[in-house]
Every structure is written in structure tokens, then in C-alpha cells.
Amino acid sequence: MSMTTPRDDARLWRSTFFAGARDSIPMLVGAAPFGIIFGALVGTAQLAPWQGQLMSLSVFAGSSQFIAVGLMAGLAGTLVIWLATFIVNLRHMLYAAALLPHVQHLPARWRWTLGFLLTDETFAVVESYYRKHPHAPLGHWYFLGSGLAMYANWQFWTVVGLLFGAVFPQLQTLGLDFAMVVTFITIVVPQLARVPHLAAALAAGSTAYALKDLPFKLGLMAAVVVGVAVGVCLTRLHATEAATRGAP
């Protein structure tokens, strides 16, 4: 039984919710140029502005939206667009599986909502939160705060892109996406103290670079598979060695 009053609970979930939104601020900044560029590209795909906004509202997955607009501009068939969407977004299943232990106990409406709000950025922020607070009872409010902040941010910058996109052709070279890079670095670096994690990161990074020109972000998928395989093999090897050494 909880010893807190309803008012304490309300205060706690509210502060957890806003902590999730606040910790996502670098990601919000990092996503802004992508939202603007996406909005600006909508016109090139013979889409009406409302259709571009509909895509941001209903799909809410940046890289697949970019690819879809590129395919539509090239007059690709609907089935090709759907297949590309499936492949590019498949990585979210890995994210969901990693977060599942923290979400499993929630009512279905929470799981549907948090699933819809799952993105690269929110995964990075929320996964790092759960690693620091493995037993946080209100972690789902943190997840919701990060997800809704990213959602509102994406809608806002899509509108800005739709309205003004054509006026700022050089936004991509401004390099605001570096905010995302440096945020990811702060999440990755503390994990590299363990040898299997360092090896997994090196393997994933070099595979991703070597295969960066593969279509549909397949290089990213391959890099994750290679990196995870290296990490698991080294962990196993280490465990075997420790067991051998520990044997009398």
C-alpha cells in the first residue's frame, strides 16, 4: 500500500512527466531541422500541405517520412512505400523489446500510447532513465513526457517547414543535428568502460560507416546485428574464462 496522499501522487507524476520532457530538450533541438526539412520537402512530392501534416501526425517516424516523400517525388508505387516504411521502422521493435520489462505491467491504453510515441530519441532518453532508476514506479510518466514533447515538437517544426521551408534551403548545413550527436555520445561513452560494450560499439560504428550507402537504413540494421553479436560473444567468452579460472 502506498503511504502517500493523492495530492502527493499527482505532484510526483507531474514532476516525473516534466522531467521526461526536460531531459528530451537536446533531442527536441536536434529534431527541429529534420522537421523543417521534411515540411519543406512535402511540396516536392506533389503532396498537399495537409497531407504532409497528416503524415507527421499519424506516422510520427522521421526517417521513414523522409524516405516516403523521396519515393513519392519519384512516383514510386504505394506498395514500395509501405515496404520501405516497414524496413526502416523495424528497429523500433528492438527498442520496444528493450523497454518491455518496464512497460509490461501497465494497462493496455498506456502500452498503445507509449508504443505510438516510441522514437529513436525517446528510446535513448527513456532507456537511460530506466538504467539509472531501474525500479522507478512512475517511469511511464517520464516516458510519456519525453514522447509527448517529441510529438508536439515534430508537429510544430513540420508546420514551420511547410510554411517557410522553401525560404531556408541551407538549414541542413547549419548542423543543428549535432545536438543529437552529442546527446547520444553522453549516453554511449559511460557504457564503454566494459570491454564487450566497447567492442560492440566499435563493431557497430564501423559496420554502419562501411554500409552507410545501403538503401532503407539497412546498414543501420546490419550494424546493430553485428555489434550485438560481438557483444554477446565476448560476454560468453569472458564468462567461460572466469568459470575456468574459478574452478579448483
Partner 1 sequence: MSATIAIIGMAVITFFIKALVFILGDRVAFSATLRQALGFVPVTVLTAIIVPMVLAPHGQGLEWSWRNPQLVAAAFSVLVCAVTRHQLLTIMLGLAVFFGWQFSLG
Tell me which stretch binds partner 1 (CB under 8 A): 2-10, 161-169, 184-192, 240-248.
Answer: 184-192
From residue 82 to residue 121, the character string flagging contacts with partner 1 as x (rule: CB under 8 A) and all else as - is: x--xx--xxxxxxxxxxxx--xx---x--xx-xxx-x-x-
CB of 174 to partner 1, least distance (A): 8
Which residues, numbered 135-174, are part of the site for partner 1 (CB under 8 A)? Answer: none
Contact 238, 196 (CB under 8 A): yes
Closest separation in Å from C-beta 130 to partner 1:
10
123 is a site residue for partner 1 (CB under 8 A): yes
Q: Which is nearer to partner 1, 164 or 178 (CB)?
A: 178
- Per CB under 8 A, contacts with partner 1 among 6-25 are none
* Closer CB to partner 1, 4 or 116, in the complex: 116
- Residues contacting partner 1: total by CB under 8 A: 83
Which of 152, 206, 215, 237 is in the footprint of partner 1 by CB under 8 A? 206
Q: Are 15 and 39 in contact (CB under 8 A)?
A: no
Q: Judged by CB under 8 A, which of 72, 144, 149, 162 binds partner 1?
A: 72
182 binds partner 1 (CB under 8 A): yes
12 vs 176, which CB is nearer to partner 1? Answer: 176
Nearest CA to 110 among 131, 139, 89? 139
Which residue lies nearer to partner 1 by CB, 14 or 212?
A: 212
Answer whether 60's CB lies under 8 Å from 116's CB.
yes
Least CB distance from residue 190 to partner 1, whole Å? 6
